[in-house]
Amino acid sequence: MTQYTPQPTKLETSGGQGYLRVATEEAWWPQEVVAVYRGMLERGEGGPGFHSLIGHYLTSQSDRAKFVVSRLADTGELRLADMDAAGVDHAVLSLTSPGTNSLEPALGTQVATIANDRLAEACAANPARFSGLATLGFEEPDSAVKELDRAINQLGLKGVVCNSHIRGRYLSDTAFWPILEAIEACDVPIYLHPQTPNDSMISTLLESGLDGAIFGFAIETSMHALKIVTSGVLDRFPKLRIVLGHMGEALPFWLYRFDYMHKGQVVSKRYEAIKPLELTPSDYLKRNFWYTSSGMPWGPTIDYVRKVVGADRVMYAMDYPYEYAPDEVRMQDQLDWTLAEKKMFFEDIPVSVFGLDRDAMTS
């Protein structure tokens, strides 16, 4: 049985254990975004999920909320000290949820540009420790495609973050396909990151206190990924690379059932939305998706996902600052794998999927 409680070892950066540790789902926000969110909260905008999530973090006086809010805004002393203490060499930063996805379209476009500029500045100030993913104003596809080009080719960002649903709409919607086409053409990954469930699915979760990271985020985000699969997006854009956190939001657990039920639904023609695909659903989940261990440091889960999707698709993430527990790094350091497997998980797959500059990390 994989240990729950890791051995007390010293966590250090610089690769002394045989690999660098690259954390790939690390949250951040600039003050401009905080100001936009505060205004939305005051005006009652953004929906119940936005108020549950951002309303909590921006008003709670709990130690946890204060920790999260202070660290989200920091790409200097506080964050670096936490990374050092946890042995994290390099963090791939992205605009925290809901990012621009809860904003009115024009504001989303405007805020994406500012956020990408700020993130690129933070990465340029410390390329050894930080890379970043671009955010886009998804509801204005023409502008989003231009911003993608600027963010990747001028600002040097390494991919795109999409904080799941876009005011209740999903990337399976053909309105967003020009953006997906451009992301595929750029050959960068898109990190499909959780956010609060959309307005039409949140109420029963909210009344149970299950709308957040404990469960609601995962069911909303896994549904989003599955909608991408069943809508045929990946037949149209077969080279699209999608990264899912939290060990794939539990999708790998369902592979057999997705294939079985999808086949039956295609045959019965029960739903307009369920059409024949070139591959089985599980094939796409093993061809177009990569998986990170954000918030899921538990060995049995990681080993299971590696077994069913392939060890070359599973990599490390922390989910800082929402989840900051150095012992979770130890748990993953002490998994029963060869050194080469650990290097693949912590270093080689992140470097390869996000096109990171390994030399910059060690300079």
Reduced to 3 states (helix: H, G, I; strand: E, B; else coil), residue 202 is coil
Q: What are phi and psi of 87, to 5 degrees?
A: 70, 25
The count of residues interacting with Mn ion (CB under 5 A) is: 2
Integer Cα distance of 279 and 272 in angstroms:
18
Tell me which of 82, 211, 319, 333 is the catalytic residue. Answer: 319
Question: Which one, 72 or 171, has the nearer CB to Mn ion?
Answer: 72
Question: Which one, 82 or 319, has the nearer CB to Mn ion?
Answer: 319
Determine whether 319 is an active site residue. Answer: yes
Question: Which one, 140 or 249, has the nearer CB to Mn ion?
Answer: 249
End-to-end CA distance of the chain: 39
Integer Cα distance of 351 and 22 in angstroms:
8
Reduced to 3 states (helix: H, G, I; strand: E, B; else coil), residue 24 is strand
Residues 17-76 that bind Mn ion (CB under 5 A): 25
319 binds Mn ion (CB under 5 A): yes
Rg (CA), the chain: 19
| Residue 37 CB partners (closer than 8 Å, separation 6+) | 46, 54, 58
Give min distance, CB of 339 to Mn ion, in A: 28
Give min distance, CB of 283 to Mn ion, in A: 27
220 binds Mn ion (CB under 5 A): no
249 binds Mn ion (CB under 5 A): no
Question: Which one, 25 or 348, has the nearer CB to Mn ion?
Answer: 25
Integer Cα distance of 290 and 353 in angstroms:
8
Neighbouring CB atoms inside 10 A of 279's CB total 16
Q: Which stretch binds Mn ion (CB under 5 A): 68-76, 83-91, 182-190, 315-323?
A: 315-323
Give min distance, CB of 27 to Mn ion, in A: 5
Give min distance, CB of 58 to Mn ion, in A: 17
Q: Which residues are at the interface with Mn ion (CB under 5 A)?
A: 25, 319
* Active-site annotation, residues: 319
